[in-house]
């Protein structure tokens, strides 16, 4: 098993002092993993991300970064390690040109200007944003803005990246592009955590799935295990991914080899069925 | 109707309608989101050919020219300022001349009306060199007053040109950074920076609310429009408040600790630009002396 980079134990957080947005959430993050976080709206995913990044201080509970306990005053350390790409790009973009926007995070890290400039260049190259560098963010399309927000976080060189529903406002081409970026980031060894409502994406992409419900993490494990837990699915109002559903129905009729694992893509399923023929 | 009035409110005056055609020539598809006037001026500044000039230098050039134009107080100097700046915007800035004149049209209308008021007098009996009989009174003027009004209009137009030099070539955030460099308190400059960004965010939100109201016949008549406008304005306030919380979260997530810092692109001051500016100003002063 990979080493644990971040561990949250029994986190409680309330915005208004009455209703708990986090109600005893516990979750481990493993180095370099791809974790998909599922759950209905208001289940506590975004609040959890904000705690993990150090923006919010949990009312109760412990957070460990690399095995070290993070006290309330050390929350600043968290945003150096974990970066959030917010759901709504317009809530994140603050500067008036793309290059200035990307420089905001590194400047806050109080790095020397030459280092900031270098990181900005790298992040702009990585997200293919060089042609837009001097443009104002309000002239960009939704997909371009999303890329800017990812470049923002890349420039901070965090090794844990949290994406809050990144596919929500993207067209299919934008989603494809996003997935390519996620693959590259994964290959670079970063820990990726994505909250999403797209079950098919979560199944295809993630190494592990965590399911949030009413401020708690009800389950965390391999995608197939989590999605096959019908009681969990019913309780959290989630549905299994299409491919897994089709696979299980085919398996029930004996169309797939016994004991075969469900493939992650339609191509994989076709290969499996072809071999059977 | 109300939507245009908001965007006009956000631009300085009634320029909104005239400028939406300008950026077409550049062939950029950026205006797809919205055609608001405030966006067009902003867009021009971003794609101006003079965008890579040092912003501090542009401020000095504009203000210096403005001061000379006002202090000289001679029609020939004003005309020279208007002509040279129009040429500069056209050749260096890449703004089409017709578009530039279109931009000047709105202030020109105000200036001409104001000039008319200065030049003319109302009298019960004919007076001055010319008088125009109107029912019940005469509109009169004489040579001196007309000349004075012309000079005034030209001077004001020269001043507007000098300000346009700044507005159409320098982005708002660069202006703010210049202000920051001349030691304006950072509370003010940061507020200006964020306000500028928020104008576009809220304009976008307002545009969507406007369309949503339109889809439910919210603007069908005056009464309904008033109610819809009130509703969207109130809603905008709520959205702005919520947005501000999201913003502060997003800023904190990137280590914001109370001071806004961005990396600024280096735009070096070029010697030739300074030299030409000095030549320009000297020429203006020489004209002033020659004009007596």
**Residue B22 confidence (pLDDT):** 41
Chain B CB contacts of A93 below 8 Å: 197
Which of A139-153, B2-16, B28-42 bottoms out in mean pLDDT, i.e. has the lowest? Answer: B2-16
Helices B271-291 & B75-91 angle (0-180, nearest 10)? 160
Residue B34's pLDDT is: 39
Q: Mean pLDDT in chain A?
A: 91
- Asked whether residue A109 carries a pLDDT value surpassing 50, the answer given is yes
pLDDT exceeds cutoff 90 at A185:
yes
Nearest CA in chain B to A85: B250
Report chain B residues whose CB lies below 8 A from the CB of A145. none
Residue bearing the bigger pLDDT, A75 or B34: A75
| Euclidean distance between CA atoms A104 and A140, whole angstroms | 18
Q: What is the reported pLDDT for A51?
A: 93
Query: Are B243 and A91 inside 8 Å of each other by CB?
Result: yes
- Minimal CA–CA distance to B59: which of B166, B142, B216? B166
> Is the per-residue pLDDT at B33 higher than 70?
no
Per-residue confidence (pLDDT) for residue B42, from 0 to 100: 81
pLDDT at B281 over 60: yes
Instruction: Please name the residue that has the structure tokens 């959205």.
Output: B239
Residue A223 burial (C-beta neighbours within 10 Å; 0-12, 13-18, 19+): buried
Q: Distance (Å) from the C-alpha of residue A220 to the closest C-alpha of chain B?
A: 25
The per-residue pLDDT for A275 is 60
Per-residue confidence at B38, pLDDT binned at 50, 70, 90?
low
Distance CA A5, CA A66 (A): 5
Q: What is the pLDDT of residue B156?
A: 95
DSSP string, B229-254: HHHHHHHHHHHHHHHHHHHHHHHHHT
Q: How far apart are CA B235 and CA B240, in angstroms?
A: 8
Chain B residues near residue A141 by CB distance under 8 angstroms = 32
pLDDT tens across B134-173, in order? 888 888 888 899 999 999 999 999 999 999 999 999 888 8
CA angle A83, A87, A90 (to 5 degrees): 100
Which of A79, A75, A76, A64 has its CA nearest to residue A9?
Answer: A64
| Chain A positions in Cβ-Cβ contact with residue B190 (cut-off 8 Å) | none
Contacts of A138 in chain B (CB under 8 A): 33, 39, 200-201, 204
pLDDT of residue B3 exceeding 50, the answer is no
Mean pLDDT of B22-44: 50
CA distances from B83 to A120, A263, B110, B286 (A): 41, 72, 20, 16
Stated as kind and residue range, the H or E segment containing B57 is helix B55-72
Partner-chain residue, chosen from A54, A117, A136, that has the shortest CB–CB distance to B263: A117
Average pLDDT over residues A81-98: 91
- Contact flag A86-B255 (C-beta cutoff 8 Å): no
Q: Using the beta-carbon criterion (under 8 Å), do B197 and A96 form an inter-chain contact?
A: yes
Q: Report domain extents, chain A.
A: 4-240, 241-277
Instruction: Read off the pLDDT band of A69 (50, 70, 90).
Output: very high
A76, A88, A95 member nearest B262 (Cβ): A95
- What are the tens digits of pLDDT across the range A245-268? 999 999 999 888 888 888 998 999
The pLDDT value given to residue A1: 60
Q: What is the mean pLDDT of residues A118-142?
A: 92
**C-alpha B156: how far from chain center:** 14
Note the pLDDT of residue B99: 87
pLDDT (tens digit, 9 = 90+) per residue, A15-55? Answer: 988 899 999 999 999 999 999 999 999 899 999 999 999 89
pLDDT at B26: 37
B255·A108 Cβ contact <8 A: yes
pLDDT in tens, A73-86: 888 888 889 999 99
Q: A93 to chain B, minimum CA–CA distance in Å?
A: 8
DSSP structure string for B143-184: HHHHHHHHHHHHHHHHHHHHHHHHHTTS-HHHHHHHHHHTT-
Residues of A in contact with B48 (CB under 8 A): none
Distances from the Cα of A5 to the Cα of A31, A182, A192, B252, angstroms: 6, 19, 12, 22
Question: Are B250 and A117 a contacting pair at CB < 8 A?
Answer: no
State yes or no: pLDDT of B103 exceeds 80. Answer: yes
pLDDT above 60 for A231: yes
For A160-207, give the DSSP string. EEEEESTTTT--HHHHHHHHHHHHHHHHTT-EEEEE-S-HHHHHHH-S
| Per-residue pLDDT at B74 exceeds 50 | yes
Of B32, B196, B254, the CB nearest to A108: B254
**What are the distances in angstroms from CA A10 to CA A22, A65, A217?**
9, 15, 10
pLDDT per residue over B219-266, tens digit each? 999 999 999 999 999 999 998 898 888 888 999 999 888 888 888 888
pLDDT value of position B39 = 64
Mean pLDDT of B55-66: 95
- Supply the pLDDT for residue B2: 43
Identify the burial level of A46 via C-beta atoms within 10 angstroms of its C-beta, where 0-12 means exposed, 13-18 middle and 19 or more buried: buried
Using pLDDT thresholds of 50, 70 and 90, give the confidence band for residue B6. very low
Three-class SS of residue A52? helix
> In this complex, which of A53, A91, A136 lies closest to B247 when CB atoms are compared?
A91
Q: Which residues, in sequence order, are bridge partners of residue A213?
A: A216
Mean pLDDT of A7-18: 93
Chain A and chain B share a number of CB contacts under 8 A equal to: 107
Interface probe for A, chosen from B36, B199, B255 (most Cβ of A below 10 Å), is B255
- Distance between B197 CA and the closest CA of chain A, angstroms: 7
The count of other CB atoms within 10 Å of the CB of residue A237 is 10
pLDDT at B85 over 70: yes
Does the pLDDT at position B1 exceed 80?
no
pLDDT band, residue B4 (cuts 50/70/90): very low
* Average per-residue pLDDT for chain B: 84
Chain A residues with CB-CB distance to B263 below 8 A: 99-100, 103, 106-107, 113, 116-117, 120
Angle, helices B172-181 vs B55-72, to 10°: value is 80
* pLDDT at residue B36 in the model: 45
Residue A163 reports pLDDT greater than 90: yes
Nearest residue, CB atoms, B261 vs list A53, A108, A134: A108
Domain A4-240: which CATH class? alpha beta
């Amino acid at each position: 098993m990979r080493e644990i980079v971040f561990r949250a134990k029994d986190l409680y957080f309330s915005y208004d002092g009455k209703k708990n947005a986090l109600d005893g959430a516990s979750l481990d993050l493993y180095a370099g993993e791809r974790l998909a976080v599922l759950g209905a709206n208001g289940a506590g995913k975004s609040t959890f991300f904000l705690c993990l990044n150090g923006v919010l201080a949990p009312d109760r509970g412990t957070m460990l970064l690399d095995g070290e306990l993070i006290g309330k005053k050390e929350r600043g350390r968290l945003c150096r390690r974990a970066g959030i790409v917010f759901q709504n790009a317009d809530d994140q973009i603050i500067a008036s040109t793309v290059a200035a926007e990307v420089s905001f995070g590194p400047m806050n890290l109080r790095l020397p200007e030459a280092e900031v400039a270098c990181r900005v260049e790298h992040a702009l190259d990585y997200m293919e944003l060089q042609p837009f560098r001097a443009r104002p963010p309000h002239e960009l399309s939704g997909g371009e803005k999303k890329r800017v927000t990812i470049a923002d976080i890349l420039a901070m060189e965090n090794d844990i990246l949290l994406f809050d529903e990144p596919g929500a406002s993207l067209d299919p081409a934008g989603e494809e592009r996003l997935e390519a970026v996620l693959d590259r980031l994964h290959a670079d060894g970063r820990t990726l955590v994505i909250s999403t409502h797209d079950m098919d994406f979560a199944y295809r992409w993630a190494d592990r799935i965590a399911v949030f419900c009413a401020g708690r993490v009800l389950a965390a494990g391999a995608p197939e295990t989590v999605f096959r837990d019908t009681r969990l699915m019913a309780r959290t109002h989630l549905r299994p991914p299409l491919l897994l559903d089709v696979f299980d129905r085919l398996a029930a009729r004996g169309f797939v080899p016994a004991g075969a694992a469900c493939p992650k893509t339609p191509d994989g399923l076709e290969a499996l069925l072809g071999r059977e023929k | 109707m109300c939507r245009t009035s908001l965007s006009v409110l956000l631009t300085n005056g009634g320029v909104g309608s005239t400028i939406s055609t300008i950026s077409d020539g550049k062939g950029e598809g950026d205006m797809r989101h919205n055609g608001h006037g405030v966006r067009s001026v902003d867009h021009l500044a971003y794609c101006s050919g003079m965008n890579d000039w040092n912003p501090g230098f542009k401020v000095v050039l504009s203000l210096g020219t403005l001061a000379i134009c006002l202090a000289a107080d001679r029609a020939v100097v004003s005309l020279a300022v208007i002509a040279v700046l129009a040429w500069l915007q056209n050749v260096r800035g890449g703004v089409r001349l017709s578009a530039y004149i279109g931009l000047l049209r709105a202030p020109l209308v105000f200036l001409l009306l104001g000039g008319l008021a200065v030049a003319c007098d109302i009298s019960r009996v004919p007076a001055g060199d010319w008088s125009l009989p109107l029912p019940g009174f005469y509109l009169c003027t004489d040579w001196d007053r007309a000349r004075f009004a012309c000079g005034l209009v030209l001077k004001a137009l020269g001043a507007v040109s000098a300000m346009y030099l700044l507005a159409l070539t320098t982005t708002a955030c660069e202006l703010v950074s210049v202000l920051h460099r001349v030691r304006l308190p950072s509370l003010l400059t940061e507020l200006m920076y964020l306000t500028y960004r928020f104008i576009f965010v809220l304009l976008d939100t307002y545009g969507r609310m406007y369309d949503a109201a339109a889809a439910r016949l919210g603007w069908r008549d005056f009464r309904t429009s008033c109610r819809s406008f009130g509703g969207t304005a109130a809603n905008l306030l709520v959205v702005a408040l919520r947005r501000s919380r999201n913003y502060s979260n997003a800023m904190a997530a990137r280590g914001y600790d109370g001071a806004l810092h961005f990396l600024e692109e280096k735009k070096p001051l070029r010697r030739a630009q300074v030299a030409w500016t000095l030549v320009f100003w000297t020429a203006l002063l020489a004209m002033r002396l020659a004009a007596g």
